Structure 1
Amino acid sequence: MGSIKTSIPHNLVKDLLNSYLHLKQKKHHAVKVETENDKPRIMIIGGGLSGFAAAKELTRHGINVLMIEAKNRIGGRIETVEFKDNAYVELGAQFLHGIKDNALFEVCASYGIEVKPYTRGDWAIYNMNGTQIDKNKLSDLVIQYKHLLKSLSMERHSDNTDRFTAEDLKNLDSKLSNQDDILSSDLGTLAKMISIKELNEEKLFEYKLGVNKKESESNFLVMNGFSKLIIGLLEDVRNTGLFQLVSSAQITKLDYTQDEVIAYTRNGESFNADAVICTLPLGVLKHHEVEFNPPLPHEKVEAINKLETAIQNKVILEFDEVFWNNELSHFVVLYDPTYQAWVDVLNLQFFHQDKMPILVLSVYSNPGQDFPDDKYIVNHFVNLLKRIYPDTFRPLKNHWVTHWNDDPFAFGSYSYHPKGSSLEDNSEIAKPIGRLIFAGEHTHRSPSNMQAAYLSGLESARQVIEQLNLLYTALP
């Protein structure tokens, strides 16, 4: 997932997993995993947060758990790398969204995870030339711009046209002609990349304009490694003696027609269990990476197709020292033609207040959008920083680029609701089908975040316990 200039930052979870004793994998026949009791065994597909939440709840009730993970690491879309001592950077999830009724706050605290309120300091906005933009002018112009585009979309919607015509854009340019040349030019260019369909999908439009930000003051930044949550959960379930893990095992078929569930992997193995909790991300379900036998009901497939997967990639740049304005908590690149979007740059030094000269660039894009190679991407943003800070710029020390859109075990970052979808679709995806149970942030009615993943895992475990009538005394 990353490309490194110098030393490779180490992955917290992968380091632990390398020392974990995996199951011996027997090929071409069902793998009968020996257990120390005659209690049913539950299979969990996926080693992300929802999978481990389910595993902890099941083992707490004395139930055997077999977890099958496709990657050579666990954590799913939680992935932490350590660039140097205590310099933790999140490649995936890095925020706890909202403090009210958020069960993850207490869980994270129990594993020694530190969080800090994401109170934004001062911030700035630049265009690709490195010119700083007046924030008040930008705010006023975005409001005008959005109304103009909405008006055009209403006119074109009746024609069943999904793109603005050259005449539409010419009219837009004329209406913006009296505005700031730099701003109108950048916003006008962005209009060419936005479809009418996207304009009617409010969240996607706002992602492209960079004005819809989840990182509000009610949210919290994880400071010392989100992966410590996964490590803590792994150690807890392993200590019960009821948990077993198989990694690097990509499931291609799931048969739930009999009194047991059988999962078949790409390398010819198969695993059996009494029931299965499927935590495959929405993007994987949409790509039909796993064959279900019998096929999923039409209503569930339709709900899966209605939801979409947002893509948020990160370009992480490490330097020997801070050369940017360290009073800025973040700054924004108004429009980047390479990504066809705005780019938000997080200044980690501002939050850590120690030597952590690292910038995290978050880039939102559309499914299916192609990106250049990592070398081009890194040079692209390094040159941008040179234009913004020509007198103080320092050479790049290290870098990392994520590609969640191309990850075959994620195909995106998190789910969202486009026009025509609703929370009822999340509920439909969550409905169990006999011995087949579903979990993941996309199955929760408050989706798109880590708390949803965690709570869905707990709920899926309770569904299994209820459906199979597994009434065991909870372990202390």
Structure 2
Amino acid sequence: MDLLRYQGIDRQKEPAVPSVIVIGGGISGLAAARALNDASFKVILLESRQRLGGRINTDYTFGCPVDMGASWLHGVCNENPLAPLICSLGLKLYRTSGDNSLLYDHDLESYTLFNMDGRKVPQEMVVAVGDVFKRILKKTEKVRDEHSKDMSVHKAISIVLDRHPELRQEGLAYEVMQWYICRMEAWFAADADMISLKCWDQEHVLLGGHGLMVQGYDPIIKELAKDIDVCLNHRVTKISQEYNKVVVDIEDGMSLIADAAIVTVPLGVLKANLIQFEPKLPEWKVAAISEIGVGNENKIALLFERVFWPNVELLGIVAPTSYSCGYFLNLHKATGHPVLVYMAAGRFADDLEKFSDEYAANFVMLQLKKMFSDAPDPVQYLVSHWGTDRDSLGCYSYDPVGMAGDLYQKLKAPFGNLFFGGEAVSEEHSGSVHGAYSSGVTAARNCESHLLQRLGNFKRRLQLIFRDNDALLEPTFPLQISRI
């Protein structure tokens, strides 16, 4: 079926307005569709799921919003491209860290850690070991400078400890060190032996620290989707470029035609070759898809009848290996709801997906009951499966060992009248919601320029939402930030 006919337009009479198919209903696809729609382009958005949001998934099963996917705004400042939208909607943020938090979404000012026997770890020890860990990471910079060939962060840490045995920790302090490594792995959604030493600290982090979205990300998704022509349950199987047009085949046999397409599906889906391209994507694009890493992080959310834990932001378990460490986010402190969210990353997240939801919830409860022996069973629980969900096949991108430095540009680069968005194409802000959002706006801008030049219509200008940088600095509607 032709996109133009699909929208009630006679294909025999070619309209002056360009048509675009946006593939993927996450925040990147919605940002692209919103921008083009507001400029009166003919736009249709195709989403394979039964819902919009992609890896943003605010669940209301508990009677309150719980983000089972993205939940933080990384960079609580007016320079964040999402700030105007958050302010206009009156959404609240709960700040969990300040400006100096490169590796964590928490400053660890509000936490309680336990060992595997359920005994509290002295807070002085946690602070001291944290300072040692920072010193170790600082010394890995010298290791990086000494080696032209990339290596993993894990290997670099081993080299530092061999050179500086005084930094080694023993006993309980060693387990606390493993917990810090666990938290680092959660930031990248990958194990330390997979993370590039060359790239791990090169991300451009916006000022303002990190803020938890108190009402979840769902209000932003709903706002961006207003008046957009959305087709849910439309799984794209093939994208063809023919005669300056794009033909998009849907799983049920339908085909749509437009002047261009913007592809914003997750990198994991592209890696799995779930969408065919005709002609095939060039080798440089295939290499970018293949070599950029995709990590995994899952959440097990637990709803209780009452709060039985201390009023801290994090509850953690230290262990002899980072794989065995864990932590709970206390949503009650940020939102007032009696919910704990256990988060698992890397191989541990992959392994949890091999079992049933009931097994995962029981496993998490065993960890919790080590901390609080009288902990009651949860009223309800939720479990994410980002690694095996065929619509995501991973959580977000990261830099694996040996990755070439130009892959993000290659992944982002257009191919004919195909344009690419998503968090993975955001070189400076990959893995973030605002990075995904900005990439969608950029893809829309590039698509606009391409189509207007090809169609010879230079009088039209795409009025991209929030394109005016001055609007980002407008102090009339400040971000609503709390720190209880």
Cα distance, 1:279 vs. partner? 0.4
The match for 1:406 among 384, 388, 394 is 388
8 Å CA contact 1:113–1:226 kept in 2: the answer is: no
The match for 1:66 among 44, 47, 50 is 44
Secondary structure, aligned partner of 1:460: helix
Please say if 1:290 is aligned against 2:275: yes
Please say if 1:34 is aligned against 2:7: yes
The match for 2:74 among 72, 91, 97 is 97
Cα distance, 1:419 vs. partner? 2.8
Q: Which moved more, 1:257-266 or 1:315-324?
A: 257-266
Tell me, in whole angstroms, the C-alpha distance in 2 between the residues paired with 1:195 and 1:76: 24
Alignment-mate amino acid for residue 255 of structure 1 = S
Show the counterpart of 1:438: 420
Cα distance, 1:35 vs. partner? 3.5
8 Å CA contact 2:152–2:193 kept in 1: the answer is: no
Cα distance, 1:275 vs. partner? 0.7
Alignment-mate amino acid for residue 113 of structure 2 = I
Tell me, in whole angstroms, the C-alpha distance in 2 between the residues paired with 1:190 and 1:233: 37
Alignment-mate amino acid for residue 128 of structure 1 = M
The match for 1:376 among 333, 343, 359 is 359
Q: Is the alpha carbon distance of 1:80 and 1:423 closer, same or farther for their aligned partners in structure 2, counting shifts above 3 Å?
A: farther
Alignment-mate amino acid for residue 331 of structure 2 = L
Alignment-mate amino acid for residue 438 of structure 2 = L
Please say if 1:266 is aligned against 2:251: yes
Q: Is the alpha carbon distance of 1:203 and 1:387 closer, same or farther for their aligned partners in structure 2, counting shifts above 3 Å?
A: farther
Tell me, in whole angstroms, the C-alpha distance in 1 between the residues paired with 2:133 and 2:236: 46
Show the counterpart of 2:470: none
- Map 1:210-289 onto structure 2 (within 5 A): 218-235=209-226, 238=227, 243-289=228-274
Show the counterpart of 1:417: 399
Q: Is the alpha carbon distance of 1:183 and 1:292 closer, same or farther for their aligned partners in structure 2, counting shifts above 3 Å?
A: same
Q: TM-score, normalised by structure 1?
A: 0.77
Show the counterpart of 1:331: 315
Q: Is the alpha carbon distance of 1:395 and 1:464 closer, same or farther for their aligned partners in structure 2, counting shifts above 3 Å?
A: same
Tell me, in whole angstroms, the C-alpha distance in 1 between the residues paired with 2:391 and 2:140: 36
Secondary structure, aligned partner of 1:315: strand
Identify unmatched segments of 5+ residues in structure 2: 98-106, 466-484
The match for 1:396 among 361, 378, 383 is 378
Alignment-mate amino acid for residue 402 of structure 1 = S
Q: Is the alpha carbon distance of 1:219 and 1:458 closer, same or farther for their aligned partners in structure 2, counting shifts above 3 Å?
A: same
8 Å CA contact 1:317–1:396 kept in 2: the answer is: yes
Q: Which moved more, 1:298-307 or 1:64-73?
A: 298-307
Instruction: Give CA deviations for 1:280-306 in whole Å, capped at 9, x if unaligned.
Output: 111111111111111111111112222
8 Å CA contact 1:118–1:215 kept in 2: the answer is: no
- Map 1:1-16 onto structure 2 (within 5 A): none
Cα distance, 1:71 vs. partner? 0.7
Q: Is the alpha carbon distance of 1:282 and 1:201 closer, same or farther for their aligned partners in structure 2, counting shifts above 3 Å?
A: farther
- Map 1:122-201 onto structure 2 (within 5 A): 122-133=110-121, 134-136=125-127, 138-139=129-130, 142=133, 180-184=170-174, 197-198=193-194, 201=197
Secondary structure, aligned partner of 2:438: helix
Q: Cα RMSD over matched residues?
A: 4.0
Q: Is the alpha carbon distance of 1:292 and 1:141 closer, same or farther for their aligned partners in structure 2, counting shifts above 3 Å?
A: same
Alignment-mate amino acid for residue 333 of structure 1 = I
Q: TM-score, normalised by structure 2?
A: 0.75
Tell me, in whole angstroms, the C-alpha distance in 1 between the residues paired with 2:72 and 2:167: 40
Alignment-mate amino acid for residue 442 of structure 1 = A
Alignment-mate amino acid for residue 395 of structure 1 = D
Cα distance, 1:63 vs. partner? 0.7
Secondary structure, aligned partner of 1:255: strand
Please say if 1:309 is aligned against 2:297: no
Show the counterpart of 2:431: 448
Instruction: Give CA deviations for 1:286-329 in whole Å, capped at 9, x if unaligned.
Output: 11111111111111111222211121111101101110111x11
8 Å CA contact 2:4–2:258 kept in 1: the answer is: no
Alignment-mate amino acid for residue 90 of structure 1 = D
Alignment-mate amino acid for residue 364 of structure 1 = A
How many residues are aligned here?
A: 422
Identify unmatched segments of 5+ residues in structure 1: 1-25, 207-211
Tell me, in whole angstroms, the C-alpha distance in 1 between the residues paired with 2:327 and 2:390: 25
Please say if 1:457 is aligned against 2:433: no
The match for 2:340 among 339, 356, 359 is 359
Alignment-mate amino acid for residue 414 of structure 2 = P
8 Å CA contact 1:116–1:222 kept in 2: the answer is: yes
Secondary structure, aligned partner of 2:439: helix
Cα distance, 1:261 vs. partner? 0.9
Q: Is the alpha carbon distance of 1:145 and 1:41 closer, same or farther for their aligned partners in structure 2, counting shifts above 3 Å?
A: closer
Tell me, in whole angstroms, the C-alpha distance in 2 between the residues paired with 1:163 and 1:415: 19
Q: Is the alpha carbon distance of 1:466 and 1:176 closer, same or farther for their aligned partners in structure 2, counting shifts above 3 Å?
A: same
Alignment-mate amino acid for residue 323 of structure 1 = F
Cα distance, 1:365 vs. partner? 1.0
Please say if 1:344 is aligned against 2:327: yes
Secondary structure, aligned partner of 1:135: helix
Q: Is the alpha carbon distance of 1:222 and 1:197 closer, same or farther for their aligned partners in structure 2, counting shifts above 3 Å?
A: closer
The match for 2:54 among 64, 72, 76 is 76
Alignment-mate amino acid for residue 59 of structure 1 = N
Cα distance, 1:65 vs. partner? 0.6
Tell me, in whole angstroms, the C-alpha distance in 2 between the residues paired with 1:161 and 1:203: 10
Alignment-mate amino acid for residue 357 of structure 1 = P
Q: Which moved more, 1:88-97 or 1:76-85?
A: 76-85
Tell me, in whole angstroms, the C-alpha distance in 2 between the residues paired with 1:30 and 1:75: 23
More strand by share: 1
Task: Indicate the percent of aligned positions where both proteins have the same amino acid.
Answer: 25
8 Å CA contact 2:237–2:276 kept in 1: the answer is: yes
Q: Which moved more, 1:312-321 or 1:111-120?
A: 111-120
